[in-house]
Amino acid sequence: MCEHEAPQGGRRRLILSNPIGRIGTDIPDREAELFAQLGPDTVFMMGDNPALPPMPAKPKLLDFFRLRFGAISFGHMLASAKRALDEGQDEKIVVACLLHDISNGCFIRADHGYWGAQMVRPYVDEEIAWAIEKHQALRYFADDSVGYVYPENYRRFFGPDYEPPAYIRQEYEGARAHPWYMSSRLVTLYDIYFFEQSNPVDPEIFTDILGRHFRQPEEGLGFDGSPTAHMWRTMIWPTNFL
Ligand SMILES: [Fe+2]
Ligand SMILES: [Fe+2]
């Protein structure tokens, strides 16, 4: 009954930020300081964090959108998928657009295409996962055949003289020669920023399409024993100490 109100016996619960989001930044490393605070009434947080909305016991994909993802990622992925839908694209492309930046929502930004593809791979057609993975590299390279140009935003984000690293160029060249190239290219074509859109999109409009293209596990994402269940659990409890 009181699980959400008083987890860990009502003790004070300390949160140590994840090193991957802290190292090299001005966020202080508080590990030693927090260890020193431990005592009978003070522990490291494990389980539900009252600062976050509680997740259902058997979470579905859209629960993560609504209850965990930041506003920009939420709006951005929905707007991208809506645009693909409005332009009559295949449902697989719509789903790839809907999921393409899922790693940015509540997980890891660096190499987000690869993390996101890995996260959803057990639940979608491999072409969808492939398109998500490769969009990361394709974003940096224009394709006149579909009217895709280098993003103006990237000039602002990274500076006008930014050059992608060699591994990204290699990934692009490999993807360019792959039979599924256009699936990933379409993800980049509809990859637009929420602040370029005015109308909010209701995630429920994708429920039927997801029913056909996302194998929602009965036990809930995070609890189905899939090779990526731990990634979903990490988004449910992102402030677990271990
Ligand atoms: Fe992306
Ligand atoms: Fe995107």
C-alpha distances (whole Å) from 14 to each of 10, 191, 206 are 12, 38, 38
Does residue 117 contact residue 129 with C-beta atoms inside 8 Å?
yes
Q: List, in order of start, the domains of the chain with CATH numbers.
A: 7-51 (no CATH), 61-227 (1.10.3210.10)
Q: Which ligand is nearest to the CA of 134?
A: 1
C-alpha distances (whole Å) from 161 to each of 27, 136, 167 are 28, 19, 18
pLDDT tens for each residue of 131-155: 999 999 999 999 999 999 999 999 9
CA 79 to centroid of ligand 1, rounded, Å: 13
Residues paired with residue 42 on neighbouring β-strands, in sequence order: 12, 39
- With 60 as the cut, is the pLDDT of residue 38 above it? yes
What average pLDDT score do residues 76-80 get? 94
pLDDT for 192? 81
Residue 104 to residue 113: CA distance in whole angstroms: 9
pLDDT tens for each residue of 176-215: 999 999 999 999 999 987 566 668 899 999 999 999 999 9
Three-point CA angle 117, 120, 126, nearest 5°:
70
pLDDT for 6? 72
pLDDT tens for each residue of 83-129: 999 999 999 999 999 999 999 999 999 999 999 999 999 999 999 99
pLDDT for 9? 93
Q: Which ligand is nearest to the CA of 75?
A: 2
Three-point CA angle 175, 180, 184, nearest 5°:
70
Q: Which two tokens stand for residue 121?
A: 């791979």
CA 181 to centroid of ligand 2, rounded, Å: 17
- Residue 162: count of CB within 10 angstroms of its CB: 10
Does residue 158 contact residue 126 with C-beta atoms inside 8 Å?
no
Q: Which two tokens stand for residue 182?
A: 């256009």
CA 135 to centroid of ligand 1, rounded, Å: 7
CA 241 to centroid of ligand 1, rounded, Å: 29
Q: Which ligand is nearest to the CA of 196?
A: 2
Q: Amino acid identity, residue 235? A: M
Decide: pTM greater than 0.85: yes
CA 38 to centroid of ligand 2, rounded, Å: 41
CA 242 to centroid of ligand 1, rounded, Å: 28
